Amino acid sequence: MIGFVARRLLAALPTLLAVLTLVFLIVRVIPGDPALVILGDQATPEAAAALRGRLGLDRPLLTQYLDFLYSALTGDFGRSLVTSRPILEEVTAVLPHTLDLTIASMVIGVVVGIPAGIAAALHRNGFIDVAARLLSLIGLSFPVFVSGIFLLLAFALHWRIFPVIGNADLADPLDRLHKMALPAATLGLVMAAYVTRVTRSAMLQSLSEDYIRTARAKGVPWRRVVWVHGLRNASIPVVTVVGLYVGILIGNSVLTEIVFNRPGLGKIIVGALNQRDYTMLQGLMVIYCFLIVVVNLVTDLLYGVLDPRVKA
């Protein structure tokens, strides 16, 4: 197992390096001088040159690149242009809110999606299957800001069950849950739609395999066949989709945080865009990429746990 983990860690390094290179390139290759973009209407040639100096953009590209890689890999993501505070500090201040939301949405997505997908596969073309397919089609067609606004209108403004604003007191767990309910439902239900689809088709695939017929012929109870033999073999595509979905969840959380006025990474990124906080954007992109690489790594490791053949 340790060898497998070490191999996976090593394999993640080139990806991380490539992703960092892409972040570096995106910010520099895209036409437009960042100094002029940041200064906007007040850009004089002198001010632009001064800002380029401050950002280090007047140095040779290779020096900038090596410097960027070194700081990113040592955990130094720079300082915000607007507040001058270290980016990591700004991010860790709101991270609990983002983690709350992400984890709660994943729980809803998995807890609703996997059973729904299994039920649909077991009743193929029956009422449950048709309903699950239709609901998941509608679910994955909803942009999250639209479903968020609809939930807000229904449950916060019409029925007044949940609060309109989601800035929770982190010390109070009940308050955290209460304020998280609607945003987490918004993100979680869309995710459940994806998970239902993938679970259904993976289960249909795995239930049609020969080993399922063999298990049934041996007299293994149907319940055990489904949950042990069927689900375990269907779990790899499901885990893949849940892992890939983290990227979508990160994007969608930006929209959810706007709708429910919650603090979080998404709010910071939109703030940085509006204030043209260029170093903040670059730092956030790097942090997002680290997150994605870590999630991919965890997904890979889970494959090894679920399917011993992967480790070979």
Residue of 43, 142, 304, 306 that binds another protein (CB under 8 A): 142
The terminus-to-terminus CA distance of the chain in angstroms comes to 10
Quick one: 86 or 247, whose CB is closer to another protein?
Answer: 247
Bridge partners (DSSP) listed for residue 86:
79
Q: Is 170 in the site for another protein (CB under 8 A)?
A: no
CA atoms lying within 13 Å on the CB side of residue 261: 6
Least distance in angstroms from the C-beta of 53 to another protein:
20
Q: Is 152 in the site for another protein (CB under 8 A)?
A: yes
Quick one: 215 or 250, whose CB is closer to another protein?
Answer: 250
Amino acid in position 105: S
Residue of 5, 82, 254, 302 that binds another protein (CB under 8 A): 254
Q: Is 250 in the site for another protein (CB under 8 A)?
A: yes
**Helices assigned H by DSSP within the chain:** 2-29, 34-39, 45-55, 61-73, 87-122, 127-141, 144-151, 173-207, 210-217, 222-224, 231-259, 265-274, 278-306, 308-311
What is the DSSP-derived secondary structure letter of residue 81? Answer: T
Q: Is 296 in the site for another protein (CB under 8 A)?
A: yes
Are 101 and 180 in contact by the 8 Å Cβ rule? The answer is yes
Q: Is 42 in the site for another protein (CB under 8 A)?
A: no
Please work out the total of residues on this chain that contact another protein, with binding judged by CB under 8 A. 46
CA atoms lying within 13 Å on the CB side of residue 45: 0
Residue of 4, 5, 15, 39 that binds another protein (CB under 8 A): 15
Summarize as ranges the residues that interact with another protein (CB under 8 A): 14-15, 18-19, 22, 26-27, 30-32, 34, 37, 137-138, 140-146, 149-150, 152-153, 157, 247-248, 250-252, 254-255, 258-259, 269-270, 273-274, 281, 285, 288-289, 292-293, 296
